Amino acid sequence: MRQQPFEQAHAATWRRLEALLTALEGNRRPPPTAPVQRLPRLLRSVSAHYAIAHARGYSPGLVARLHTLVRRGYRQLHQPRQRWPGHVLRFVTAGFPRAVRRHAALFWLACALFFGPMLAMGFACTADPTLIHSLLDGEQVSQYESMYDPTSTRLGRTPEHQADDDVMMFGYYVWNNVGIALRTFAWGLVAGVGSVFVLAMNGLTIGAVAGHVTQLGFGRPFWSFVSGHASLELTAIAIAGAAGLLLGSALIAPGRQSRTAALRANAREAVPLVLGATLMLVLAAVVEAFWSGNTAVPPPVKYAVGATGWLLVAAYLGLAGRGGANAQKAQEDT
């Protein structure tokens, strides 16, 4: 076979291997056309092509290109892979905040759908004590009132949980908060409308409770309790909502892809958002169980910690991983 037909027959394989190696060398996600599992098979094929090109005396440029691909491939195939603690650390320090920034528009839309109704209902319930009953029944309202009663020795706990220790409450908070986040995400499969509904309803409920207990005169225990973990918990719910909206966007506007292909691609993009939100909620549960309900800590100290938490969350999502991304982009440009 002459060189030109040989190149035409195998150029697509070479491009797939090159794209995969470029992604692996840059610590990026491999392209869908060449997942990392195909590296051994692609490398075997290109190694055979290199041997054929060398034996037939094809042009030095082609032989050199295939030789370089084979060397890069074997370097990636045999290099020691990072163990899971390293993957987790890289995800936390760079992968997750980059994913949030990559879908910043959906994140801010989720924030508007969540915090907007929350603020509106909070102010409305502060002005009208009866408005909370349009969302919650009398038993639920009484339960929230007892949770933030200034005479309570365990803030933020329902009467049936007053006797539980901090470890048990940690488990309860994880189960409750992660459940909310997963529902917010999963309901995105209803063309995104489900995530919109869950975000808005959770925002309305939280705002109603905040406004109601504040106008009762329970504002000091309530705000001192929620201030410590609110930055983590509320931001994580908004991120889970963004992940749900990402699923919905694949169904509403798949572009030139089929809806199935678009949903599959967007689901891969949504997974880091959901995983990161879950980690934030676990950390929020730690704060909520072991810090927020502690009545021995003065409220001003809790407010200061809460304000610091919001600043740290904003800095983390806005800045973490940027240095690595810029270095990677500069490497690609050169």
Whether 234 and 118 map to the same domain: the answer is yes
Nearest CA-CA partner of 306 in 237, 223, 221: 223
Look at residue 206 and tell me if it is in a domain.
yes
User: Is 191 a member of any domain?
Assistant: yes
User: In which residue are the tokens 């190696």 written?
Assistant: 21
Packing angle, helices 166-186 and 259-287, rounded to 10:
160
Evaluate whether residue 309 is within a structural domain: yes
Q: Which domain holds residue 11?
A: 3-81
Are 109 and 246 part of one and the same domain?
A: yes
Residues 57 and 92 both lie in one domain: no
Distance between CA 181 and CA 241 in Å, rounded? 7
In a domain, 121, yes or no: yes
Q: Please give the structure tokens belonging to residue 227.
A: 């201030």
**pLDDT digits over 173-208, tens only?**
999 999 999 999 999 999 899 999 999 999 999 999
pLDDT of residue 81: 58
CA–CA separation, 76 vs 30, rounded Å? 13
Contact 307, 170 (CB under 8 A): no
Q: Are residues 76 and 94 in the same domain?
A: no
Helix, strand, coil: what percent of the chain each, to 5? 80, 0, 20
pLDDT digits (tens, 9 = 90+) for 159-178: 667 666 788 889 989 999 99
> What are the tokens at 60?
């030095």
- Where is the domain boundary, 47, 81, 115? 81
Tell me whether residue 106 is exposed, middle or buried, using C-beta atoms within 10 angstroms of its C-beta: 0 to 12, 13 to 18, 19 or more. Answer: buried
Which of these three, 26, 50, 81, is where a domain ends?
81
H or E stretch including 325?
Answer: helix 322-333
Residue with tokens 């936390």: 92
How many structural domains does the chain have?
2
Of 114, 118, 328, which is closest to residue 238 (Cα–Cα)? Answer: 114
**Radius of gyration over every alpha carbon of the chain, rounded to an integer in angstroms:** 26
Is residue 7 in a domain?
A: yes
Structure tokens at 322: 């940027």
Assess if residue 330 is contained within a domain: no
3-class state of residue 34 by DSSP: coil
User: In sequence order, what are the residues at sequence separation of 6 or more whose Cβ sits closer than 8 angstroms to the Cβ of residue 38?
Assistant: 16, 20
Phi, psi values for residue 190, rounded to 5°: -85, 60
Pick from 45, 64, 81: which residue ends a domain? Answer: 81
CA distance 281 to 170: 11
Instruction: Say what the pLDDT of residue 39 is.
Output: 86
| Per-residue pLDDT in tens (0 to 9) along the chain, 334 residues | 789 999 999 999 999 999 888 888 876 767 766 677 788 999 999 999 999 999 999 999 999 999 999 999 998 887 765 566 778 888 999 999 999 999 999 999 999 999 999 999 999 999 998 999 999 999 999 999 999 988 877 788 876 676 667 888 899 899 999 999 999 999 999 989 999 999 999 999 999 999 999 999 999 999 999 999 999 999 999 999 999 999 999 999 888 889 999 999 999 999 999 999 999 999 999 999 999 988 889 999 999 999 999 999 999 999 998 875 444 444 333 3
Q: For every residue of 41-59, which 3-state class applies, written as one string? A: HHHHHHHHHHHHHHHHCCC
Claim to verify: residue 147 and residue 264 sit in the same structural domain: yes
End-to-end alpha carbon distance in the chain: 36
In a domain, 332, yes or no: no
Sign, CA torsion 111/156/278/93: positive
Tell me how many degrees the CA angle 187-113-103 measures, rounded to the nearest 5.
Answer: 75
